[in-house]
Amino acid sequence: EVKDWEGKLIYIQDLLEQWLACQRTWLYLEPIFSSEDIVRQMPAEAKKFRAVDTLWRETMAAVNENPNVLEVSEIENLLANFTEANKKLDQIQKCLNDYLETKRLAFPRFFFLSNDELLMILSQTKDPTAVQPHMGKCFEGIAKVRFNDDDEVIEAMLSVEGEVVELANQVNVVAGDKKGAVENWLLEVQDSMIHCLTKIMGESVAAYAQTQRTKWVLEWPGQVIIGVDNIYWTAEVAGAIEKGALRDYY
């Protein structure tokens, strides 16, 4: 009889370990695979998760009806089922990490985001504005972007201070292969940002020589002002060194 009890207790211990492991992973993955976007992008993993989800819900329903640990432990193949479920959950998590890695390689600025932050974006690809809370991590200096009234076209960049830079090349986030592929339109935002700031920087360099400084400072974005200031300062210092007149410049 003692041996029987020992066997039961060891079985219950193993069962609870597998059960709790399943619970932890299920709690993490359930909201992820509740998203239609994630299910659409990872159909094989979604199918595996549905199988685990069914086991979890049916088991919990049975336990809720009869919360007796000894009777629950006698449910047929319960330990084997949870062990197999944990293997599937491990496979799902590995595939999920691989999936996130492909997204990061497609748009390297995603490496600045945690897995949870990236999943929050990827689970809401039908809503382009879902990326707004994470723009500051992806692009230093950009707090958010401004969409048009339909949330389909990005028109401008905004800094934390509220400074606005209109994009010369506006980005349509639902055109062609960009629809539902946040990494594709963010790449275009990046290219548009570089093109826009390069253009503004060139215009500001030309304007510096023709405009009174106190007026010029107020007409351009802060980042551009700092950049152009450094361009002229470097050019003037280099010229002073070449002429041997550095003391006079200072």
Give the pLDDT band (50/70/90) at residue 250. low
pTM of the model: 0.76
Number of alpha carbons in the 13 Å side-chain half-sphere of residue 190: 15
pLDDT at residue 246 in the model? 73
When pLDDT is averaged across residues 238-249 and rounded to a whole number, the result is 80
Please say if the pLDDT value at position 112 is more than 70: yes
Please, which pLDDT band fits residue 73 given cuts at 50, 70 and 90? confident
Instruction: Taking residues 136-151, report their average pLDDT.
Output: 90
Indicate the length of the chain as a whole number.
250
What confidence score (pLDDT) does residue 92 get? 94
Q: For the segment 19-68, what is each residue's pLDDT rounded down to a tens digit? A: 999 999 999 999 889 888 888 889 999 999 999 999 999 999 988 888 88
In this prediction, residue 137 carries a pLDDT of 92
Read off the tokens for 103: 């997204």
CA angle at residue 68 from 62 to 72, to 5 degrees? Answer: 50
pLDDT surpassing 90 at residue 245: no
Quick one: pLDDT band at residue 133, thresholds 50, 70, 90?
very high
> CA–CA separation, 241 vs 107, rounded Å?
43
Of 122, 156, 139, whose CA–CA distance to 190 is shortest?
Answer: 139
| The pLDDT value given to residue 222 | 87
> What is the rounded distance in angstroms from the CA atom of residue 250 to the CA atom of residue 229?
16
**Most distant CA pair in the chain, distance:** 102
- Write out pLDDT tens, residues 162-201: 889 999 899 999 888 888 788 999 999 999 999 999 999 9
pLDDT digits over 202-242, tens only?
Answer: 999 999 989 898 899 998 988 899 999 999 999 888 888 88
The CA distance from 200 to 195, in Å, is 9
Helix (H, G, I), strand (E, B) or coil at 127: coil
Rounded (5°) CA angle 37-39-45: 145
Residue 249 is predicted with a pLDDT of: 67
Per-residue pLDDT at 187: 93
Compute the average pLDDT of residues 136-153. Answer: 90
The pLDDT score that the predictor gives to residue 2 is 75
**Per-residue pLDDT for 110 more than 90?**
yes
